[in-house]
Amino acid sequence: MQTADNTGVGKDRDPALFRLIRVIVKQFFPKYELVGTENLPDEPCVIVGNHAQAYGVVGAELYPPRLHYIWCIGEVLNRKELPAYVMKDFWYMKPKAVRWLYRLFSHLIAGPLSYVLSHSHTIAVYHDARIVSTFRRSMELLKAGADIVIFPESREPYNGLIWKFHEHFPDLAKLYYRRTGTALCFVPMYTTPRLNRICFGKPVRYDPDAPDDEERTRICTAMMDGITDLAVALPPHAVIPYPNLPRDQYPMNTPRK
């Protein structure tokens, strides 16, 4: 892991097994071209991306433009909790006739996947009181110079290309402003495995004078629309959705009217 001082940033501490796994995965995973990195501010920021099933997260881990840490659901970092979570969140749309096969597979991958995710550049995210630890760790890493990468899509469709975002991740900027006096930037990121690209859009800066609810909505909408604009500006391609849909149901990046 790249870390410095007591935050764990700047020092290579990855175990040999994890480094070997990372090399192997990189051999089989598509090589991504990074586009628009000039849009990243000269300061730590929050990068907000489309999930693209697992491709967004894996791409962000393997081909980062600079030092970063990814928000990752805490359940998938825990070997015992991972099977139930992936069945509920990723494979809930699978036909009942084959669901048992995916349930078996979820148990088979629990050990290796939780190991890999736990040793990747991740920050555990929880939807209960433990969220305090998520924000605390994010503050430490931002102040140490690392970016935070978030994939906040939910199951609710937004515009046919991406799914609506969970709205509370912008609260990170409120806390950061209180701690540092700096208004944090949010940068949209679009991952397209079909074109082997990760694209970055124009940053949006947090406004500390705006009401919290309005600022959450403004930043979420700016990120969703920014990702969509990146998608429709590219050559025609199928957009890999957040839900695990059949491939013939993948949307195309048709420009918005």
pLDDT per residue as tens digits for the range 38-68: 999 999 999 999 999 889 999 999 998 899 9
Which amino acid is present at 86?
V
**Whole-number pLDDT of residue 255:** 63
pLDDT per residue as tens digits for the range 132-150: 999 999 999 999 999 999 9
Which amino acid is present at 226?
G
Q: Which two tokens stand for residue 223?
A: 């990120």
Range of the domain at 160: 28-75+130-249
Q: Is 161 within 8 Å of 224 (Cβ atoms)?
A: no
In a domain, 156, yes or no: yes
Closest CA to 199 of 237, 160, 143, 246: 237
In a domain, 104, yes or no: no
Q: Is the pTM of this model over 0.85?
A: yes
Using DSSP's 3-state secondary structure scheme, residue 177 falls into helix
Spatial neighbors of 21 by CB under 8 A, at least 6 apart, are 116
In a domain, 180, yes or no: yes
**Whole-number pLDDT of residue 185:** 98
Residues lower than pLDDT 70 in the chain: 1-13, 255-257
The H or E element containing residue 16 is helix 16-28
Count of domains in the chain?
1
In a domain, 150, yes or no: yes
**Whole-number pLDDT of residue 2:** 41
In a domain, 109, yes or no: no
